[in-house]
Amino acid sequence: MATSGECTLWTTLCVCFTALHTSAVMVTMRESAIEVVRGDFVVLPCSFFTSSPLSRLNIIWTLAPFSSPQAPIQVIVYDHGQVIEDPSLIGRVAFTGLPWSADIIMNDTRVSDAGTYRCMVNNPPETADAGIGELVLSVLVAPSLPACHWDGDMDTGGSVRLSCAVSEGIPTPEIRWDKLNPEEISLPINMEDDLSGWVQIVNVSTQTSGLYRCSASNLLGTENCYINLSVYSAVAGNSSGILQGVLLTLSMALTLLALLVLILWLHHTGQDGRWRPSKQEEEEGDEGYNEIRYTPSLIKRSFV
Ligand SMILES: *[C@@H]1O[C@H](CO)[C@@H](O)[C@H](O)[C@H]1NC(C)=O
Ligand SMILES: *[C@@H]1O[C@H](CO)[C@@H](O)[C@H](O)[C@H]1NC(C)=O
Ligand SMILES: *[C@@H]1O[C@H](CO)[C@@H](O)[C@H](O)[C@H]1NC(C)=O
């Protein structure tokens, strides 16, 4: 009884003291802008100073999302010793230092978590005018794999368009096209929107052939897609085809001729009854018996 009486008395003194000095809760955000990679956790810091007891402490965190700034939500609230989260954030957000700090942790961050956060601290009977802090949270996303494709006329003199589109990335990825061979050169790109761009190649020639790369990059990384263009000049294609045909016919004729000579000659030597292997050849054959080996020895013999 005596203790509780003292406590009440002390509280009353405090109330008088704070009333006299018109003190207010002081809120400080230790950071004004925070970046987090999507999926990681983040701690949103909010410190406060109060000279009153914390029995009536009240903390409210709100978020004005970048996607809908005019529709703020109450992220998490601490009131009368109870914690209430926004239904969409249950299990992902929590206070980390109650009742001494108003810091919160957010797990498994999403792009929709980005926006302006406000931390409001009330500790009656102190006034709360100074008790608001603000910070901006950015959620970063690595570029997704871009999609490359081409269309147009791949014949000599034609025109080809190379397109590239990336579906996500924060900050907005930079998109560029390069030709990789024979040497690497950057190509002038036309941006269709923030996330896609194309390159026009006019008067296509055989020199247009080669490997092309589209890259999408931001501070979290780079992703590439490739297109391999092969331009065949109609004239060059025909003449090389003719040349190949002539060469093929020639070599086939030569082979046939050689075969014919061989057959005739084998037929001739075979009549002498010398087609059987001698003893010496059978011994040699032990190492690696192989019919083909007969032919050289036959040739040798015929010169004896
Ligand atoms: C956030 O994740 C950490 C580590 O996995 C876990 O200890 C903590 O309870 C999580 N907090 C919430 C609010 O889910
Ligand atoms: C196309 O390229 C060829 C050879 O590279 C050139 O002779 C010709 O003038 C070019 N035509 C145009 C329209 O640029
Ligand atoms: C591109 O295509 C050419 C001809 O089809 C081929 O020889 C070359 O290996 C290809 N290069 C790559 C990187 O796929």
pLDDT tens by residue, 231-243: 877 654 444 444 4
Q: Determine the pLDDT at residue 143.
A: 97
Q: Which residue has the higher pLDDT, 133 or 10?
A: 133
Ligand 3 centre to CA of 226 (Å) is: 11
Residue recorded with tokens 């108003």: 102
CA-closest residue to ligand 3 atom 3: 230
Indicate if 147-234 has the same CATH topology as 23-140.
Answer: yes
Ligand 3 centre to CA of 243 (Å) is: 23
Q: Is the pLDDT of residue 148 over 50?
A: yes
What residue ranges do the domains of the chain occupy? 23-140, 147-234
Per-residue pLDDT tens over the stretch 167-194: 999 999 999 999 998 889 999 999 989 9
Q: Which of 156, 203, 206 to mutate to test the pocket of ligand 2 (most atoms within 8 A of CB)?
A: 203
Residue 125: cis peptide before it, omega within 30 degrees of 0: yes
Ligand 3 centre to CA of 234 (Å) is: 19
Collapsing DSSP to helix, strand or coil, 254 comes out as: helix
Ligand sitting nearest the alpha carbon of 158: 2
Mean pLDDT (the chain) is 79
Q: Answer for the pair 148, 165: CB distance below 8 angstroms, yes or no.
A: no
Q: Could you tell me the pLDDT band of residue 211, with boundaries at 50, 70 and 90?
A: very high
Give the tokens for residue 42: 């983040």
Give the tokens for residue 242: 């003719």
Q: Is the pLDDT of residue 3 over 60?
A: no
Q: Is any ligand 1 atom within 6 A of the Cβ of residue 87? A: no
Long-range Cβ contacts of 175-183 (<8 Å, 24+ apart): 175/146, 175/214, 175/215, 175/216, 176/214, 176/215, 177/212, 177/213, 177/214, 178/212, 178/213, 178/215, 179/210, 179/211, 179/212, 179/213, 180/210, 180/211, 180/212, 180/213, 181/210, 181/211, 182/210
Give the tokens for residue 85: 């989260």
Q: Is the pLDDT of residue 16 over 50?
A: no
Q: How far apart are alpha carbons 40 and 151 in whole angstroms?
A: 40
Q: Which of 206, 227, 230 to mutate to test the pocket of ligand 3 (most atoms within 8 A of CB)?
A: 230
Q: Could you tell me the pLDDT band of residue 107, with boundaries at 50, 70 and 90?
A: very high
Q: Determine the pLDDT at residue 235.
A: 55
Q: Is the pLDDT of residue 113 over 50?
A: yes
**What is the average per-residue pLDDT within 92-119?**
95
Highest mean pLDDT among 54-58, 177-181, 238-242, 274-278: 177-181
**Is the domain 23-140 a CATH 2.170.130.10 member?**
no
CA-closest residue to ligand 2 atom 10: 203
Give the tokens for residue 154: 């791949």
Q: Determine the pLDDT at residue 182.
A: 82
Q: Which residue has the higher pLDDT, 130 or 184?
A: 184
| Nearest atom within ligand 3 for CA of residue 210 | 1
CA-closest residue to ligand 3 atom 2: 228
Determine what percent of the chain is predicted with pLDDT higher than 70.
69
From residue 28, give the alpha-carbon distance in Å to each of 20, 213, 286: 24, 48, 95
Q: Could you tell me the pLDDT band of residue 126, with boundaries at 50, 70 and 90?
A: confident
Distance of CA 182 to the CA centre of its chain: 27
**What is the average per-residue pLDDT within 295-302?**
41
For domain 147-234, give the CATH number. Answer: 2.60.40.10
Q: Are strands 196-201 and 160-165 parallel, antiparallel or unpaired?
A: antiparallel
Supply the pTM of this predicted model. 0.66
Q: Is any ligand 1 atom within 6 A of the Cβ of residue 265? A: no
Q: Determine the pLDDT at residue 90.
A: 92
Min mean pLDDT across 1-15, 141-155, 208-222 is at 1-15
Of 11, 117, 88, nearest in space to 56 by CA: 11
